[in-house]
Structure 1
Amino acid sequence: MKAGILPQQHPDPVPARQPLPQFSFSSGSQLLTAWDLGTPLTLAAVDGDQPGSALQQAVQSAFQRARAAGQPRPLLVGAIPFDASQPSCLYVPHRYQWQRAATAQPAHTPQPPLLNQRNVPDAAAFKQAVTRMVHRFRGSDLCKAVLSVQRQLTFAADVDLEALRDNLRAQNPHGYLFQVPMLGDSTLLGVSPELLVRRHGNAMLSHPLAGSARRHSDPHADRDSAERLAASSKDHYEHQLVVDDIRHQLQGWCCRLQIPAQPSLTSTSALWHLATRIEAELVQPAPTALQLACRLHPTPAVCGHPTAAARQLIQSLEPFERGLFTGTVGWCDADGNGEWVVTIRCGTVCRNQVRLFAGAGIVAASDPDAEWDEVQTKLGTMLRACGLPQ
């Protein structure tokens, strides 16, 4: 996975000894940390791709206030929820710093004992929902929807956020590691494998993932799993829906668009994925990274196709609000450069309560048992970071 963009350092030196950052985002070997986040921008991101939208006007006003306060290069950080009509969780921090990310080691401090855990919905209800989704595809133009689950964990004492973050980084050194304070007392924490958009000048990159298969410790079984995914017509169909949607959304914003004819295989420690590296040269004046993120979000990788119908079906079948899960998290500077990733392989932490999330793309060829296995595998990333068996 390529390293991210390293903009100019914040001109004000940050003291060597700092409390733990309120926001952090790592991309490759680079780490962005921020303190003193100030008042959050909670405007909905609906129409956030438009320069005159309420969100974009609020961001520009926040940048102007930051410059007036002495910041020559203000920066926006935070997260946008799955449902862009819900409040965003964005900040223009008073202090931030870019630095090289140290090689993370697994945390030595264990988490408190686990008191209980449960899936919402449980296996039977999830599989029934998959069956209902597949039935809804018949005789309609709806061809994909993403169904997700929560794993709710209760520990005997407050969870150690620093240890959780260290474990995530050690297990997934090439992922996009993020920590975002949410409205209230919760913290969003995760390590995403999926780049929604990176913008630097007039160059843009998106690296969507769709279609996955479990990895195995045995090399032969692992290779077989990758080969089955590469040959799977079901997974290629699901992946192509995502690529076609991104191509459509970028129309009019690019003077050059390069999309490979076939996806490639990429992997995390837990899963093989089908991936397509999409590169573009943006028209001038180029849209900002935040505008691009708002234009592309949500892709069929986390919602479905067509988007509006898939979202409606998800709302009727999922027994919880996703919040920031399957939204987008990242940063954008005042020049419009930035990175936004898909908010997956993540959870929210509030004292001793942890909620983990995972989803699977459902298409007409989906098997309920296989989809349940997939979401449980995806939960494994965060469960291992909590020191728990999958």
Structure 2
Amino acid sequence: MLESLALKQNLNFEFGALFASNGRELLSSGIHEWISVPARGGQDRGQGLHAAVEAAFERARRAGQANPILVGAIPFDVREPSCLYVPAAYEWREQAAVAEVVGEPSGVPDLLDQRSLPDEDGFKKAVEHAIVNFRHSDVRKAVLSVIRELRFAESMDVGRLLAGLRAQNSQGYLFRIPLPDEGELVGVSPELLIRKEGGRIVSNPLAGSAKRQPDPRADRAAAEQLERSQKDQYEHRLVIENIRSILAPLCARLDVPAAPSLMSTAAMWHLSTRIEGALQDPAMTALQLACIIHPTPAVCGFPTESAHKLIRYVEPFERGLFTGLVGWCDAQGNGEWAITIRCGIARHDTLRLFAGAGIVEASNPASEWEEVQAKLGTMLSACGLAA
């Protein structure tokens, strides 16, 4: 268990960020220092993001913090500014105390309008474009995404969203991150990019998905079909082999299961592989490891650079923080970074939701559209809206 650092129980905590996992949650108060340095090259000690974080930690130590912590989010495109900060104070709590932070769910404001970018026809054409590209390039997988933008009669209660997300996936990585432009990043990710505790690491990538069914028999059949799906198994192998190739040279031991297992949330079945290892250099930080691995084929494609170029060409928007990283890292190098999926950005009366699907040559455009709609269901249900 990572060391739990608690502030005095009588400390009156003004809400800042929240990141919950493994039965505990990190809460922060205030902002000691923002860090917007892009994460590109963040694995290199003494340079770029790594240097900026180390310098911020040192200033926080001089201000009286024994073990400063970094919390926030990194964009999908690591050339864009990061959204990270060292809080003025923080504490770890048992996850059972979450009601004290998120509050009781309140009524949902009236939904005035919504739109999808791209729309159904545009998304299907993007999938078709990607499939044609696979036949004439070295790209074997590309992850394509959609935005669902909702506008309400008044501001959405983010506390209500958190409570709804926790109810749907109590085992997920729940997060609420304040953004510099008065927005908030909120969601519950099922996917762990990296966790580091001392010299031990864990990564739990997901790739290959199927929608949950209300009828138990149909739901079990959907899970079994996912396990048998050659298309989904192929998509999953691309992710696992990529992460293995990155982590193996860094580890004295790396355990990768021979086949994926099933993971479920309220909305989806996923193919899941839990990778565990022991670092050759325990001094490597969780943030360094995250910067080395990100973006994986689970959120970008394969090969990474070629898939990224294809995404920029066919997606009609910039993803920003979606399919980036969200989490924390302390001054001892321990930390957790989850993939920023099943999420949205709340800003005043607007809630922008995101979802994506992995496209391979065997993909069917209609099925991929249905998959992204099913993935949007997590956030829509938390809003009290039917998918």
| TM superposition score category, shorter chain reference | over 0.9
Alignment of 1:128-143 (within 5 A): 128-143=125-140
Q: What secondary structure does 2:231 align onto?
A: helix
Alignment of 1:3-14 (within 5 A): 5-10=1-6, 12-13=7-8
Specify the code of the residue in structure 1 equivalent to 2:124: K
- The 8 Å contact of residues 2 and 197 in structure 2, kept in 1 or not, is answered as no
User: Which residue of structure 2 aligns with residue 189 of structure 1?
Assistant: 186
47, 57, 61: which one aligns with 1:63: 57
1:113-134 deviation digits (Å, cap 9, x = unpaired): 0000111100000001100000
Quote the offset at 1:18 in angstroms. Answer: 3.0
Gaps of 5+ in 2: none
Quote the offset at 1:107 in angstroms. Answer: 4.5
% same residue: 53
User: Which residue of structure 2 aligns with residue 324 of structure 1?
Assistant: 321
Distance 2:267 2:148 in 1: 17
Alignment of 1:300-379 (within 5 A): 300-379=297-376
CA gap of 1:224–1:33, structure 2 versus 1, over 3 A, is same
Q: TM-score, normalised by structure 1?
A: 0.96
Worse-matched range after superposition: 282-291 or 217-226: 282-291
Quote the offset at 1:141 in angstroms. Answer: 1.1
Quote the offset at 1:104 in angstroms. Answer: 6.2
User: Which residue of structure 2 aligns with residue 72 of structure 1?
Assistant: 66
Distance 1:104 1:94 in 2: 21
CA gap of 1:8–1:223, structure 2 versus 1, over 3 A, is closer
- The 8 Å contact of residues 6 and 30 in structure 1, kept in 2 or not, is answered as no
Q: Tell me the matched-pair count.
A: 384
1:296-352 deviation digits (Å, cap 9, x = unpaired): 110000000000111111011111110000000101111111100000000000010
Distance 1:104 1:234 in 2: 39
Quote the offset at 1:7 in angstroms. Answer: 1.8
Quote the offset at 1:252 in angstroms. Answer: 2.2
20, 42, 45: which one aligns with 1:26: 20
Alignment of 1:147-166 (within 5 A): 147-166=144-163
Distance 2:210 2:11 in 1: 43
Q: What secondary structure does 2:53 align onto?
A: helix
- The 8 Å contact of residues 104 and 170 in structure 1, kept in 2 or not, is answered as no
Specify the code of the residue in structure 2 equivalent to 1:210: A
Cα RMSD (Å): 1.3
Is 1:385 matched with 2:379?
no
CA gap of 1:103–1:380, structure 2 versus 1, over 3 A, is farther
Quote the offset at 1:13 in angstroms. Answer: 2.2
Distance 2:3 2:114 in 1: 42
Quote the offset at 1:139 in angstroms. Answer: 2.8
Quote the offset at 1:287 in angstroms. Answer: 1.2
Distance 1:232 1:135 in 2: 22
Distance 2:145 2:88 in 1: 36
Distance 1:33 1:103 in 2: 11
Q: TM-score, normalised by structure 2?
A: 0.97
Is 1:288 matched with 2:282?
no
- The 8 Å contact of residues 6 and 98 in structure 1, kept in 2 or not, is answered as no
Q: What secondary structure does 1:286 align onto?
A: coil
Distance 1:236 1:143 in 2: 13
User: Which residue of structure 2 aligns with residue 241 of structure 1?
Assistant: 238
CA gap of 1:45–1:355, structure 2 versus 1, over 3 A, is same
Quote the offset at 1:37 in angstroms. Answer: 1.6
User: Which residue of structure 2 aligns with residue 43 of structure 1?
Assistant: 37
Q: What secondary structure does 1:373 align onto?
A: helix
Distance 1:70 1:8 in 2: 18
- The 8 Å contact of residues 114 and 154 in structure 1, kept in 2 or not, is answered as yes
Distance 2:121 2:146 in 1: 12
- The 8 Å contact of residues 177 and 185 in structure 2, kept in 1 or not, is answered as yes
203, 206, 212: which one aligns with 1:206: 203
Alignment of 1:210-221 (within 5 A): 210-221=207-218
Quote the offset at 1:243 in angstroms. Answer: 0.3
Quote the offset at 1:14 in angstroms. Answer: 5.7
1:190-229 deviation digits (Å, cap 9, x = unpaired): 0000000000011000000000001111110000000000
Alignment of 1:226-237 (within 5 A): 226-237=223-234
Specify the code of the residue in structure 1 equivalent to 2:213: H
* Structure 1 residue ranges (4+ consecutive) displaced by more than 2 angstroms after TM superposition: 12-19, 103-108
Worse-matched range after superposition: 293-302 or 277-286: 277-286
